[in-house]
């Protein structure tokens, strides 16, 4: 698997853990909800990475903005 994908997967886990530690919740979250949070963050990071590539490498700001808008990132 691409090293960038592996790093984004790790980062998504870390960001969710930080969110859970810093934001108090009334009740503990279920394993299923935790998994969904990690998957959602992973998808968000992939879209952001793709938009950044369009913007920074291809200098296509319009396409980057359209991609982010399409996925709500």
pLDDT band at 25 (very low <50, low <70, confident <90, very high): confident
Give the per-residue pLDDT at 62.
97
- Tell me the pLDDT tens digit for each residue of 37-63: 999 999 999 999 999 999 999 999 999
Task: Domain of residue 52: give its range.
Answer: 3-19+29-71
The answer to whether residue 24 sits within a structural domain is no
Residue 36 and residue 11 in contact, taking contact as beta carbons nearer than 8 Å: no
Task: Please answer whether residues 73 and 47 qualify as being in contact, where contact means their C-beta atoms are separated by less than 8 angstroms.
Answer: yes
Q: Identify the pLDDT of residue 26.
A: 84
Domain presence at residue 40? yes
Q: Is the pLDDT of residue 36 over 80?
A: yes
Domain count along the chain: 1
- Cβ neighbors of 50 (< 8 A, separation 6 or more) are 67
CA distances for 1 relative to 6, 47, 64, angstroms: 7, 18, 24
């Amino acid at each position: 698997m691409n090293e960038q994908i592996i790093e984004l997967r790790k980062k998504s886990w870390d960001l969710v853990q930080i969110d859970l530690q810093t934001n108090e919740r009334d009740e503990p979250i279920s394993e299923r909800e935790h998994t969904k949070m990690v998957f959602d963050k992973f998808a968000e990071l992939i879209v952001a990475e793709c938009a950044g590539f369009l913007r920074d490498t291809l200098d296509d700001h319009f396409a980057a903005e359209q991609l982010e808008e399409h996925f709500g990132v």
